[in-house]
Structures are given as structure tokens and as C-alpha cells.
Chains A and B, each alone.
Chain A
Amino acid sequence: MTVDISELLGLPYPEGDDPQATALYMQDLAYKLEDLLTAVNTATVDFNDRPCAYWQNSGDSMTGPGSVDVSWDLAAPLAYNGSQSQVGASALRPRLPEAREGLWLIGSSWPTLIPTGVVNVGTYRQLRVSASGFNGQFATLPFMGPRIAAFNGQLSAPLISDIGYESNTSTPGTPLTAMGLCLGSPGALIDPSSGSIGTIIINLANGNTSTGFTLAAGSGFLWAIWMGYGTQQIVTV
């Protein structure tokens, strides 16, 4: 009784004329097909079941001038799909929802800023967001920097007058409206075998010399979603 296998997929087939070989062949074939189908199906499901997270800021406050790392409500994400626990993670530095190699789409939108004092229009121009990338393997990857730099000069006096304040001051406690910022589609490859856990940091700076801001909870979002397996070690956006 002999059973041989095909070269490419290793599918078994009977060799010679042993009458029992056919039964053994079919059994081997069935299990080999089982393994192949399971492998293909697992890969497909893996791709459809994307790890992702969508957090909202948890209501930071900031003085002026100064900056703050935005904290995120890790305990109550709007969306979360992944095996990576956030228990014990810093609210300032969420972990990726899963330590999976591949291309991650990461971005953030501006929170609603509520002035805690009088806003001096003339100095309200250094609001910015930056992200320091991932701890570990890409600890200093400044993947959002250039885009932010280009945005800095766009926030000045008209930001205030836009919402109805024609003078150089605004009323404390009045939201400055939700400002969205397109952070593009930065991505980085995470190698889980290195033991590193990707974390994300968003920094909000305030150049106003006379007031601070509260970041309204329920506005300003941070997202991370796995987009697929990469074919390069590093993707430059």
C-alpha cells in the first residue's frame, strides 16, 4: 500500500494497484483538502476582520501658552476590534488594537476647544497637532509632522470671527467649534516579532498667551485601522 503526493499542493494519490490504497488515498486527500481549505479561509477571514479602534478625547484642558498630549477614553472606545488589551495603557498613548504586522491607517481630528478665558486673537495662532509615532521600533517616527507644519499658519484671527466674534476677544465657555484636521493617511509597519507595541500620541499646542482651553469630551477622534499586510519594511507617506 503506497500513497504518493502531488508536487505543488501535496495532494495524495494512490500508487500501484493495492485495493486498500484507494480508501487510504481518499482519507488522506480529505484531510489534506481540509487543511488547505482551512488555511485559505483563515487568511481570508483574517483580512476581512480588520483590527481597528476609534477613540474620543476624554476632556483635557490646556493653559496658554503650552501644550498637552491629548488623552483618550480607552475604557469606552466608540469602536474597537482587536486582541490587544488597553488595560494598563496610558490614556495618552493608546496601543494599537492588535500587534499585527502590516500597514496601519492612523489619523486624528481636532477636538472642540472651549476657551476658559478671553481669547486674544492676535496670539491665537500656534495651535497644532503632532504625533510622535510608535514606541519601540519606531519610537521617533514623526509621521505627521510636515502636514501639521503646513497647517499652523491657517489658524488666526478669522477663526474667532468665523463663529461670530468680530472683536478681538471671545466669551469664555463658548466652543470654538469642531475643527477637523486632515492628517492624511500615515502608516507604518509594525513588526510584532520585535516585541514592540505601537502607541499613538497626539499633541495639541496652544500659543495663546492669555487663555487656556478645554477640549470638549465627545469631540476629537483618534483612529487606527489595519489596512492589510505590507510588502516593505517601512512605508514612507
Chain B
Amino acid sequence: MPGTTPVWAIPFPYIGEVISPAAFKNLADAVDAALDTVSAAGTAAANGRRYVKLSRAEGPDTIATGIDTNIVWTTQLSADDPGAWWTSGANIILPAKGLYHVSVWNGQHAGTTTVLSQMLRVAVNGVFRLGRRPYRAGAGIAESDGMSGLVYCSTAGHALTAAYRWNGTGGPAAFPDCGIEVTQLVTLP
């Protein structure tokens, strides 16, 4: 009756036992299985930062001053999200409880007379978590802007959305081109 190691159950014969070819096979199989487990964990560590990167082009839809409007994404630039975090629309479905890194940015918009400020905000499950509101001091257009930060998702399946708003006169503004990247940093139990 061979012995086994306590963690990985690698079999070995005791001294005095008859060592058959099967003993070597069992050893090989056990090492193979253990390496398979370690390899899978290593791959997860190296490639575990699942992400999605989306964009949308400027207009033709328009947005009036002082209105938070969710950005509707139209193009997937790249992704490593086997769970299909996004297929269409404004919602990015977060696959698990945990922390996510978010970068979101917007381009210039047109169609306004003056712009006092512009704002980007990121919400998870409808609750705003990150935001940025640059002051434009009455400029004619909203400039390109962006931000990044971490958001927390408490439940798998919550939707992450980003909203854009401008304040000023004139308009409605052509909805600016926008982009977003969401990367899963850690999954929590």
C-alpha cells in the first residue's frame, strides 16, 4: 500500500514494497494533475484582469443643457470578457462582486453657444460613484476630458453606466464621442 504526500497526494512506495510500472504511472498522473491545477491558477493570475473597452461616435443625437444622459455605447473596441459584459446599449453588466477600475472620457461636442461646465459620472446599479466636472468658463464648446477611479460592485449582474452632462447656453449639443474601459481588479466572496 503506497503512501501519499499530504497536500497534493503524490503517491510513493514504501521501502520494501514491490515497485511496479504502475507506481511510476501513478506518480506521473498525480504530478500531471497537480501541475494542471497550478497552471490553471497561474493562467488566471496572468490573464485574470477581464475588461471591456467601448466607444460611441459623436451625435447625431443631441442633448440639452443640464440633463444627465446615459452614454449609449455602440462599438466594442476590445474585450476579454467571456461573460459578455456588454452587448448593446448603455449598460455594462459587471460579472461578480468586487472592485473594478474605470476610465471614461469624452470628446468635444458641438452646437452650443457657451459652456460653463461639463460633467462625466459613473454609476453602479444607478448610484453615482465617480464623477468629474471641469469648469469651462463660458467657452463655446465642451472640451475633451476624462477620469479614472475604482468602483465597487456589491452584487453580480449590477449595471455600470456613465452619464454625460453639460451646462451653458445654446444647444442642444451634439452628443460627444465617448469611450470607456472597465477592468475587473479583484473578485470578492
Contacts and interface: CB of A to CB of B under 8 A. Distances in A.
Contact of A34 (B7, B98, B131): B7
Contacts of B48: 48
B150 interface: yes
Contacts of B38: 37, 40-41, 44
Contacts of B132: 179-182
B5 A31 contact: yes
Given A109-B131, A223-B99, A225-B186, A20 B150 contact: no
Interface residues of B, number: 58
Nearest to B43: A44
A34 B10 contact: yes
B12 A26 contact: yes
Contacts of A68: none
B152 A158 contact: no
Interface of B: 3-8, 10-17, 19, 23-24, 27, 31, 34-35, 37-38, 41-42, 44-45, 48, 66, 98-99, 116-117, 119-122, 128-137, 146-150, 152, 154, 167, 185-186, 188
7 contacts: A79-B98, A109-B129, A109-B130, A161-B116, A161-B167, A179-B133, A182-B148
Given A44-B38, A52-B188, 5 more contacts: A33-B34, A44-B42, A52-B99, A180-B132, A223-B150
